[in-house]
Amino acid sequence: MQVLFNEDRLKKQIWFEAVKKIKLAGRLDLRQNVTWSKHSLDFKTMLLDGAHNGDALMALSEYISKNNLIPFTLILGMASDKLNDTLWSPLVELCSQAEKLIITPIPSPRTASPEMMEYFLDECGALAHSPEIKYVSSAEDALEVALDYREQPVVVAGSIYLVGLVLQILEN
């Protein structure tokens, strides 16, 4: 704001307060009673976040803790080119809070396979607490599995492509 707008302090503060209220779908997007009309069932609590880098994954973990969403079921899918050692600590933080982990490919040619994701998570120590792990072949299949755990929070993360597809599936 300071760099972009040459205005007085009061006007900048008004703009700053307005920007703080902006909510982006799929970014720390906490929803209650999310109905999946295909099954006429609700997920009690769903958190959608396209977190795909270290900072975003850490912010997601902090948000989960701050909002008492533990234990939760994590639907995770990422691009293979994002899997590097800068994600180790953030993924350990996120996955260590998950009771169940549903690993799915993302709708992109860059997707990491569920097997590749599990190998990466195991290598970085994110699976040390031995969560229940399920592989699925699509975002829709991930939601199908998550229906069994719909009374506890479901967190969808790892790729904005995955979050967008989940939102599309739920809205249809």
Amino acid at 76: L
Query: Which of the given ranges, 4-13, 15-24, 83-92, has the highest pLDDT on average?
Result: 83-92
- 108 phi and psi, to 5 degrees? -160, 145
Q: Quick check: is 3 in a domain?
A: no
Say how far apart CA 86 and CA 30 lie, in whole Å.
26
pLDDT tens digit sequence for 145-160:
999 999 999 999 999 9
Q: Quick check: is 13 in a domain?
A: no
Q: Quick check: is 64 in a domain?
A: yes
| Counted domains in the chain | 1
Q: Quick check: is 15 in a domain?
A: no
Q: Name the 3-class secondary structure at 112.
A: coil
Q: Quick check: is 111 in a domain?
A: yes
Query: Which one is predicted more confidently, 104 or 19?
Result: 104
CATH of the domain at 88: 3.90.190.20
pLDDT tens digit sequence for 14-47:
887 887 787 778 889 999 999 999 999 999 999 9
Q: Quick check: is 57 in a domain?
A: yes
Name the band, by pLDDT with cuts 50, 70 and 90, for residue 2: low
Question: Cis bond leading into 71, ω under 30°?
Answer: yes
pTM for the structure as a whole: 0.88
Residue of 167, 149, 138, 170 whose CA lies nearest to 48: 167
For residue 125, the enclosing domain spans 24-171
E strand intervals along 16-167: 29-36, 41-49, 72-76, 98-103, 132-135, 154-157
E strand intervals along the chain: 29-36, 41-49, 72-76, 98-103, 132-135, 154-157
Q: Quick check: is 28 in a domain?
A: yes
Amino acid at 75: I
Say how far apart CA 27 and CA 140 lie, in whole Å.
20
Q: Quick check: is 2 in a domain?
A: no
Burial (0-12, 13-18, 19+ Cβ within 10 Å), 15? middle
